Every structure is written in C-alpha cells, then in structure tokens.
C-alpha cells in the first residue's frame, strides 16, 4: 500500500470499509446482505460511478488481466471454487499489502490475506478496471506536476567529497499470512487497521 493515496483509490477503500461486517446473502448487493460480486459491483458504482457486470465471471472478462506481483489497491482478485474446472466463482477487492476485502459465504464481508492456503490454491487471476486505473494514473500525474510547480519537489543537496551516499537497505518481503485449510476458515487474524490506518 502506498504511503500516499490518490483521491480515487482513497474513496474506493473508504467505501469498502463501510461494507465490513455486512452479512453474506446469495444474490444480494446491499448492506443488508451481499454476495462477493454484488459488493464489488456496488463499490465501484458508489465510489467511482463505474458500472461493472453482476457476476464474478463477467467481471473477470471486463477487467484487464494483471499479474499477481503487479496488483495495486483497487484491482480485483478472482478465484475458482472448483479446482477441477477452474471456473471463476469468487471475487475480492485488493487493498494492498497482500490483503483483500471480500464477501465470505461463512463470515460475510471481511479482510483476508491472499497468502492464506485456501486463497493461494484457488487463485486464478488479478484484474484491473481500466477506466478506474486511468483516472488514478491521470490524478497521480496531475499531483506530481502540481508539486513540481509549487516548488515542493526539492533538488537533493550536492554531495561533498567527504560525503558518502546513504546505503539503500532492501525492504524484506511481506511474511505470508497463516495458512488455513478451507474457505470455512478464511478469517485469519487480520485487523482492519493493517490497511486502513494509513488513510488520511
């Protein structure tokens, strides 16, 4: 998760936060009860005015495919309930730091880690809503230009002969989430603050 968020992504994640705890209801897409694709559809509709297809398979087709390593907050993650067929049957909203918000059939709308055993085994693909991503990219470019014009982007001070560059310390890779046996145990101890506490 970036230390600073553009306004579009911030609005989407704030909307997702408001759905945490909503009970699961097959075919539902409101805060009185929702399924996975219904929640995702409503998130983008409410926060961005973007209309997504109703079910997870169509949402997968609607999105641009994204490698798992390239996921950014606001992307979607898709899973197959049946490993034999590989048919997509579940979707979640990626929120950064290896986490997603999704509607679990057993626990309602929760935060889960992609590193959990069940989700690792059933993962199919990442998807990007191109219209939303374009807005994010445009906003980031505008913010960068605005900072440059306002003089906030300071040039680094020239180094003297005695100065030595500060070594770059590599950031360790995130530790995988605890593994769970099946979807009924897809609620590893992940607190909301782990991804929402950076929001302004």
Give me the pLDDT at residue 145, please: 83
The catalytic residue among 29, 60, 90, 122 is: 90
Give me the pLDDT at residue 176, please: 42
- Compare 57 and 181 and report the one with higher pLDDT: 57
pTM reported for the whole predicted model: 0.74
pLDDT band, residue 5 (cuts 50/70/90):
confident
The catalytic residue among 36, 60, 63, 122 is: 36
102 is catalytic: yes
63 is catalytic: no
8 is catalytic: no
pLDDT band, residue 157 (cuts 50/70/90):
low
Long-range pairs of 106-110 with CB within 8 A, sequence gap ≥ 24: 106/24, 106/183, 106/184, 106/186, 107/24, 107/186, 107/187, 108/21, 108/22, 108/23, 108/24, 109/19, 109/20, 109/21, 109/22, 109/24, 109/34, 109/39, 110/20, 110/186, 110/187, 110/190
The catalytic residue among 8, 29, 60, 102 is: 102
pLDDT band, residue 149 (cuts 50/70/90):
confident
Condensed to tens digits (0 to 9), the pLDDT of residues 52-84 reads 999 999 999 999 999 999 999 999 999 999 999
């Amino acid at each position: 998760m970036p230390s600073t968020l553009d306004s579009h992504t911030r609005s989407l994640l704030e909307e997702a936060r408001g759905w945490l705890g909503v009970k699961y209801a097959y075919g539902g897409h409101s805060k009185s009860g929702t399924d996975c694709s219904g929640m995702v559809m409503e998130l983008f509709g409410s926060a961005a005015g973007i209309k997504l297809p109703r079910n997870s398979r169509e949402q997968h087709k609607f999105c641009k495919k994204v490698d798992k390593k390239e996921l950014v907050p606001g992307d979607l993650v898709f899973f197959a309930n049946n490993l034999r067929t590989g048919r997509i049957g579940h979707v979640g909203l990626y929120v950064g730091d290896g986490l997603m918000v999704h509607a679990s059939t057993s626990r309602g709308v929760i935060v889960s880690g992609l590193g959990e055993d069940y989700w690792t085994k059933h993962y199919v693909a990442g998807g990007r809503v191109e219209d939303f991503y374009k807005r994010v990219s445009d906003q980031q470019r505008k913010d960068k230009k605005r900072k440059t014009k306002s003089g906030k982007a300071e040039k680094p001070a020239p180094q003297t002969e005695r100065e030595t560059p500060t070594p770059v310390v590599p950031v360790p890779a995130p530790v995988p989430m605890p593994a769970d046996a099946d979807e009924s145990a897809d609620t590893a101890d992940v607190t909301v603050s782990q991804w929402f506490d950076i929001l302004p």
